[in-house]
């Protein structure tokens, strides 16, 4: 079933005199993989943050179609948006930003524990996702003992272990070499879109963007073009 899972309408956001978002509207269909491309300072990360409820735009609205009905993210309080991100969304950042003190399995399991899942069940689910991402045997390694590509795969497991319907990725391959970048991108698509979930990805790498189903070009806080990807 195809429907709009995320809908942004006329988003505007300024940082002092700088306009980060200047009337952006965007619909994301369920199962889509959307690459937001643009130069540094074009507003692509601000758009991703606004869609994910990390920041509130000065004006405009973002709506999520949740299983229990539509939800206006921009109308929620900070606490409600924090909970929404924890329960409904997954995130993959450029540097992974995993918790360095925790082991690989703990980094994944903690996403479930934050939602009240007990430790045993969380560990079991985390181990399953790590194995699916080719990290079996590395569960007890700390993040500093993993390569960049392995750490990003742990981040992908963390983003999906809660069953998040939408995964937001901010330059997920930005710190990786081209081969590892391709492998991580494959893992990200396999674990999200191939399972019926939605991926919104910010990148300035045309090769990475080309693997998504839609490519949205952003410049000066506006969407200036849209192309079909892979």
Partner 1 sequence: MTTIRLWWLLARSDRRSAAVLWLPVAAYAVVTTLLLLVIGGSRVFFSWNDDMAFGYQLLALIALTLLVVPLGTLGASAARLSARRRDERLSTLRLLGATAGAVAAVTVIESSALALLGAAVGALGAALLAPLIGLIPFRGEAIGAWALVPAPETALVVAGVVALAVTSAVVSLRRLVISPLGVRTRQNAPAQRWWIVVVGVIVLAGALVAMNLLGAAGSAGGPITFLVVIVGGFAATLGVLGLIAPAILRLMATRQARIATKPERLLAARMILESPKAAWSQVSGVAMTSFMSVVAGAGVALMGMAASSDLSASDAHLVADIRTGILITVIGSFLMVACSVGVNQAAGIADRRELYSSLHQLGMDTSTMDAARRRAVLSPLRVTTIGSALCAAVFIFPLVGLSVIVSPLTLVMVAGVLAAGFALVWLGLLATRAQLARAARA
Summarize as ranges the residues that interact with partner 1 (CB under 8 A). 49, 52, 54, 79, 82-87, 89, 91, 93, 95, 97, 99-102, 106, 110-111, 113-114, 118-119, 144, 158
What gap in Å lies between CA 32 and CA 79, rounded to an integer? 28
Q: Edge-to-edge strand order for the sheet containing 33-37?
A: 89-92, 166-170, 198-203, 33-37, 214-219, 222-228
Q: Closer to partner 1 at the Cβ: 110 or 215?
A: 110
For the bound state, the minimum distance from the C-beta of residue 82 to partner 1, rounded and expressed in Å, comes to: 5
CA distances, 110 to each of 78, 99, 195 (Å): 21, 10, 22
Nearer to partner 1, 97 or 182 (CB): 97
CB of 219 to partner 1, least distance (A): 25
Helices (H), 10-136: 44-51, 78-88, 104-113, 119-132
DSSP state of 138: -
Nearer to partner 1 (CB atom), residue 65 or residue 95 = 95
The rounded distance, in Å, linking the Cα atoms of 68 and 122 is 24
What is the DSSP-derived secondary structure letter of residue 142? B
Smallest gap from Cβ 158 to partner 1, in A, equals 8
- CB of 8 vs partner 1, minimal distance in Å: 18
Task: Report yes or no: 149 and 176 within 8 Å, Cβ to Cβ.
Answer: yes
Q: 154 or 215, CB closer to partner 1? A: 154
Nearest residue (CB) to partner 1, 23 versus 148 = 148
Kindly tell me which of 91 and 129 has the beta carbon lying closer to partner 1: 91
**Shortest Cβ distance from residue 119 to partner 1 (Å)?**
5
| Least distance from partner 1 to the Cβ atom of residue 54, Å | 5
* Start-to-end CA span in the chain (Å): 20
């Amino acid at each position: 079933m195809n429907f709009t899972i995320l809908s942004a309408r006329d988003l505007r956001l300024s940082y002092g005199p700088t306009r980060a978002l200047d009337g952006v509207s965007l619909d994301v269909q369920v199962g889509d993989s959307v690459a937001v491309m643009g130069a540094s300072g074009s507003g692509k990360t601000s758009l991703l943050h606004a869609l994910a409820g990390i920041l509130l735009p000065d004006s405009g609205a973002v709506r999520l179609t949740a299983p229990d009905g539509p939800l206006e993210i921009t109308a929620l309080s900070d606490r409600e948006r924090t909970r929404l991100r924890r329960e409904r969304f997954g995130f993959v950042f450029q540097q992974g930003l995993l918790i360095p003190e925790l082991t690989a399995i703990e980094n994944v399991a903690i996403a479930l524990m934050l939602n009240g899942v007990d430790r045993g069940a969380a560990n079991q689910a985390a181990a399953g996702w790590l194995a699916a991402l080719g990290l079996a045997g590395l569960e007890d390694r700390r993040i500093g003992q993993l390569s960049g590509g392995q750490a990003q795969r742990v981040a992908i497991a963390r983003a999906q272990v809660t069953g998040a319907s939408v995964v937001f990725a901010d330059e997920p391959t930005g710190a990786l070499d081209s081969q590892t970048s391709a492998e991580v991108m494959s893992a990200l698509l396999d674990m999200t879109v191939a399972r019926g979930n939605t991926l919104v990805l910010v990148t300035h790498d045309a090769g990475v963007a080309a693997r998504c189903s839609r490519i949205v070009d952003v410049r000066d806080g506006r969407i200036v073009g849209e192309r079909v990807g892979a």
